[in-house]
Structure 1
């Protein structure tokens, strides 16, 4: 049985009776700790966890890179007519990403879209915009262990280099090849990052180095709900042991 928490901490579809002793209850949550309200009632309640966290019982990251099988093919980079793009709807001045952007934009031109900039775009326009940019600002709304969302994976799918702001580079490299993205922490300042992007814009050979990973991998997006259910069923089939998540609060919010 799945139980999902929304960003306000509400438990949906919770039964009123105690959990039968050996019944599997799975805590599924894809929001970060900053976006999820802590509840003491969660402890000693669930058997299993399913989330983006790699140390979950059932880890379900926002995307995956799978090793290629079959014949080697050459990847063709989509046509680019923009340098840097950012699409954001959840705009808050206190976010790290907002503060970084405010300085970064002083040193490089950034094409901005989304509700945060009063410039909403359709899903189709999203695909066209992102694929037409050389770099996309894959800035997370909060910084936590393993919290690497579709903001990083969708540009990879669309043939754009993500510039990431989130957990450390080492964390990203557990999921994404190190030569597939640019991390803001690799630079001493937003100005230095801007200069690097301008250099890549002028040097096609250097820019193409960020696509060499495609010789070995293909991208795969997570199908929300569907992938969780499939992987949960597979896990329960393979693992018959009984356990309880005693301190979910400590594990997730730590």
Structure 2
């Protein structure tokens, strides 16, 4: 389930061993996605329409922006992005990388992280790597909490996510343009609620790797193969393979950004 940047062993030693692969990438033998969209049939669309007509997602939220980062490896430079956004937006950041958990950071009686997160309109679903097809539970869980995910995608095909369910920082020319737009969404009830119209067409059907494996094992037409160059296949990506040295540099940069020092 991890991107190439989190693989430190010698992948060449695995060449010629495996017939199939299971990964979040769609070119794997088995697509091990964190979530997947399912198009609703007519009857389910009618039921979804009735449910949506009695919901006002905007009024169900009492706070604006929240994010959680617990994996401090940062090939995608999301700490730097959060630092820039916090100059203009009031963002509550939690997780191991910020040394702030939901329980200790929020002085409320309910200690459930999920219940805390649900109070916010937007969730910063920033991935730690800009890798092919790498969309994790951050995005899918935000949808389950009826939030608008704010994402940092650069190499994601829209066919693996739900259209018009998120706001991508990199769809804007610069940070200020993004901030202007997201503030407008946050203050406009109609505009905010429009980001949940996807519920009329789709649902998250999740992922069942054992189901897919069982189906393909019973397909005689599924051609046998051997990954003779597993390392080459894994590295055929947009994102670089992170090394121990570059990881230490990223952690050092993160420490500088926490003090407001921007080192390019």
Does structure 1 conserve the Cα–Cα contact (< 8 Å) formed by 2:102 and 2:116?
A: no
Larger relative strand fraction: 1
**Which of 10, 16, 19 is matched with 1:47 structurally?**
19
Larger RCO (CA under 8 A, 6+ residues apart): 2
TM-score by length of 2: 0.77
Alignment of 1:1-254 (within 5 A): 30-37=1-8, 38-69=10-41, 70-71=43-44, 72=46, 73=48, 74-75=51-52, 76=55, 77=57, 79-92=60-73, 95-121=76-102, 125-168=112-155, 171-222=156-207, 227-239=208-220, 241-254=223-236
CA positional deviation for 1:42 = 1.4
Larger relative helix fraction: 2
- Secondary structure of 2:64's match? strand
Gaps of 5+ in 2: 104-109, 237-264
Residue 172 to residue 210, structure 1, CA distance change in 2 (3 Å): farther
Residues 52-107 of structure 1: CA distance to partner in whole angstroms, max 9, x if unpaired? 10111111211012122434223332710111110111235765111111111101
Does structure 2 conserve the Cα–Cα contact (< 8 Å) formed by 1:148 and 1:172?
A: no
Moved over 6 A (4+): none
- Secondary structure of 1:179's match? coil
CA positional deviation for 1:125 = 2.5
CA positional deviation for 1:172 = 4.3
Distance in 2, matches of 1:94 and 1:52, equals 18
Question: Greater shift after overlay, 182-191 or 113-122?
Answer: 113-122
Distance in 2, matches of 1:236 and 1:93, equals 37
TM-score by length of 1: 0.79
- Number of paired residues? 219
CA RMSD, Structure 1 to Structure 2 (Å) = 2.0
Distance in 1, matches of 2:90 and 2:63, equals 9
Residue 238 to residue 174, structure 1, CA distance change in 2 (3 Å): same
Gaps of 5+ in 1: 1-29
